[in-house]
Amino acid sequence: MEKIAMFIIRLLKHPIQWWGADYNQVEIILRTKLSMDFRRSPSMFHASGKSEKTFTFQLVILLILGIFIAVGFSKISSFLLNLTICFGIIMTMLGSSIITEFSSVLLDHRDNQILLVRPISHRTLLLARLLHIQFYIGFMALSLSAISSIVIAYKHGAIAFLAFLIAVGLCAWITLLITTFFYMALSRVISGERFKDMVSYLQIVMAVIIFGGYQFLPRIMESDALRNSTMTIHWWTYLIPPAWLAGFVEVFNFQEINLEIMLLASIALLVCIAGAIFLVRFLSGGYSRVLSEGAAESVESEKTVERGKTKFSPLRLFCISEMEQIGWKLAMSITKRDRKFKQAVYPSFGIIIVMAVLMIKPDFSSFANTIQKLSESKNFYFFLFFGFFGTTAITQLPYTDTPEGAWIYKALPIKNHGHILTGAIKALLLKFFLPLVMVLLAITLMIWGVSKVPGLVMGSMLIILINLYSIILTKMPLPFTQARDMQQKGSNMAKMFFLMALLGVSIFLVSLILNLSIWIVAAFCVLIILMIINAYSIIRKREYIIS
């Protein structure tokens, strides 16, 4: 793949020089970056640091997902509308990938420190950075659109096929330019650690949007209104990037060529060329300066330690030992500031909203009708399923970017390391699981009344019990002692399916027990509590291997 990238770069020699960058330096920097990427360990997933095998596997997955995009070309009659939807999906996917996977490449200040002290211009460095990302998202865009391109070649001919492939490349480039402009604008308003936090929250929102898109898009494509609709061009259509690219392909379809279509195609080309020139020629210096200032603020913020007044903490109420309190404080502290932990955990709460809409199928035109239908249905048991998402944080507890810090567990005279783990588990349950249960409890009381509260309480305790025994069976390590790339192993996926199966059995069990006497329900709740206490005891007494 490195050779392919270098071949494409050679074709762009003159445009690179027009943009004000040094072509030879761009080629050397890009070749070095790609060589470093593909020589890394296959288990590494740092930003663009993918090995060739893992990147190829990702392309195969995107190729399969592209089948669902291609389905639209057989469902929707309007070719222009089809193309607009297709490019809209591709741009959303690429934008999500740039934000979630390549933000560290766009915002990496180490290149400034290493390269800008040498006779390398800001323009050259920024363009090399953009082309580095363009290489990856370009292949991703081609994988997503491969099946669609075959359908277009079959239905509209070879010229439309070639125009579509060119438009896919332009799509990737426009998405990258828009994302870069967005980051630069955001960095002008927010700087330092707050800017990084904002990017993290944006990554979380994009993850939820992508999940929701996968769930709702097939249902939208099946609607009769969309199948028979046509796309009318209004003034605001010229503000939609997917419409520009759709117009570019439509021009070479030679069926519906008019001034409006030509204008859309012209905007696509103009934005690609003028946007790159403006960014590289006029904003590259400011971009490098923003990164350098952000790096300086990050270092300064790390030196500053806030010392506020001691606030009330429930740790004395829930923790039975000093070691449990230490585990509690450790979990609360790290989960508060660890951005990657937030990116792994917080999307699950957004997914709850998507799943609720899919399962409940609310009537948005009448809130009262939705409540009435819910009160008469058995959708209450879905709420127990939603509660499971509140324990996602526990599965992320062992992982960190700095596993070498685990030496502290060896250095300190700790007899029972298990107390640290149980304290951390209690902290995460209180921080993530309990608030979710309280929200579900309020909704349950509003819709179904007090009669369903015992079921919610029992189901919540079963979720805690399932997670505790999963920790025992999988021999979860101590908090924040494992590298994040360790969780890419297939055993984690198998564990998740196993937990979901247990949850399904638990929901069925709750539905049966709720039909029995209240005394049997109470006795079962007491039994679950005793089993939870026993599980905590096993975790505390277990021996832990610290590498």
Task: Rounding to the nearest 10 degrees, give the CA dihedral for residues 460, 466, 469, 471.
Answer: -90
Handedness of CA 533, 534, 540, 544 (dihedral sign): negative
The model's pLDDT over 304-319, given as tens digits with 9 standing for 90+, comes to 444 444 455 677 788 8
Max avg pLDDT among 33-37, 431-435, 475-479: 431-435
Residue 40: predicted pLDDT: 46
Model confidence band, residue 128 (pLDDT cutoffs 50, 70, 90): confident
What is the model's pLDDT at position 309? 46
Q: Which pLDDT tens digit goes with each residue over 327-357? A: 999 999 988 888 788 877 888 888 788 777 7
- The three-point CA angle 65-71-77 to 5° equals 150
Asked if the model's pLDDT at residue 400 lies above 60, the reply is yes
pLDDT band at 421 (very low <50, low <70, confident <90, very high): very high
Same domain, 150 and 287: yes
- Evaluate whether residue 257 is within a structural domain: yes
Higher pLDDT, 454 or 117: 454
Q: Nearest CA to 195 among 206, 179, 184?
A: 184
pLDDT-based confidence at 487, cuts 50/70/90? Answer: low
Residues 290, 391 within the same domain: no
Q: Are residues 439 and 482 in the same domain?
A: yes
Q: Residue 4 domain-assigned?
A: no
Q: Please, what is the end-to-end C-alpha distance for the chain in angstroms? A: 37
Is 90 exceeded by the pLDDT of residue 103?
A: no
Report if residue 125 sits inside a domain. Answer: no
Task: Identify each DSSP E strand in 153-294 by its residue range.
Answer: none
Digit-coded pLDDT (tens) for 343-392: 778 888 887 887 777 777 766 666 677 777 777 776 677 777 788 888 88
Same-domain status, 458 and 399: yes
The answer to whether residue 499 is domain-embedded is yes
C-alpha to C-alpha distance for 365 and 443, rounded to whole angstroms: 20
What is residue 159's predicted lDDT score, i.e. its pLDDT? 92
What's the pLDDT score for residue 483? 80
Where on the phi/psi map is residue 426: left (φ > 0), alpha (ψ -120 to 50), or beta?
alpha
Distance separating alpha carbons of residues 100 and 98, to the nearest angstrom: 6
Output the six-digit token pair for 258. Answer: 């008019």
| Residue 527 banded pLDDT, cuts 50, 70, 90 | very high
Domain boundary among the residues 265, 295, 325 is at 295
Residues 226 and 319 in one domain: no
**Domain's final residue, options 261, 295, 329:** 295
Q: Which two tokens stand for residue 177?
A: 């330019």
One-letter identity of residue 405:
G
Query: Taking residues 228-247, what's their average pLDDT?
Result: 86
> Which residues lie closer than 8 Å to 41 by C-beta, 6 or more apart?
51, 485
Of 240, 263, 295, at which residue does a domain stop? 295
Q: What is the pLDDT of residue 46?
A: 42
Which of 44-48, 91-95, 243-247, 439-443 bottoms out in mean pLDDT, i.e. has the lowest?
Answer: 44-48
Whether residue 123 lies inside any domain: the answer is no
Domain of 427 in residue numbering reads as 315-541
CA pair distance 126, 279, nearest whole angstrom = 9
In contact, 12 and 138? CB cutoff 8 Å = no
| Closest residue by Cα to residue 98 from 39, 168, 172 | 172
In a domain, 350, yes or no: yes
Contact 418, 498 (CB under 8 A): no
Higher pLDDT, 187 or 438: 438
Q: What is the pLDDT of residue 305?
A: 43
- Give 116-152 as a 3 state SS string: CCCCCCHHHHHHHHHHHHHHHHHHHHHHHHHHHHHHH
Do 336 and 246 reside in the same domain of the chain? Answer: no
Contact 468, 535 (CB under 8 A): yes
When pLDDT is cut at 50, 70 and 90, the band that residue 426 belongs to is very high
Number of domains composing the chain: 2
How far apart (Å, rounded) are the C-alpha atoms in residues 252 and 255? 8
**Mean per-residue pLDDT for 435-461?**
87
Please tell me the pTM assigned to this model: 0.70
Q: What mean pLDDT value characterizes the chain?
A: 80
Q: Are residues 167 and 275 in the same domain?
A: yes
- Claim to verify: residue 366 and residue 272 sit in the same structural domain: no
Taking residues 419-432, report their average pLDDT.
93
The set of residues, in sequence order, having a beta carbon less than 8 Å from that of 256 and lying 6+ positions away, is 79, 80, 250
Does residue 401 sit in the same domain as residue 280? no
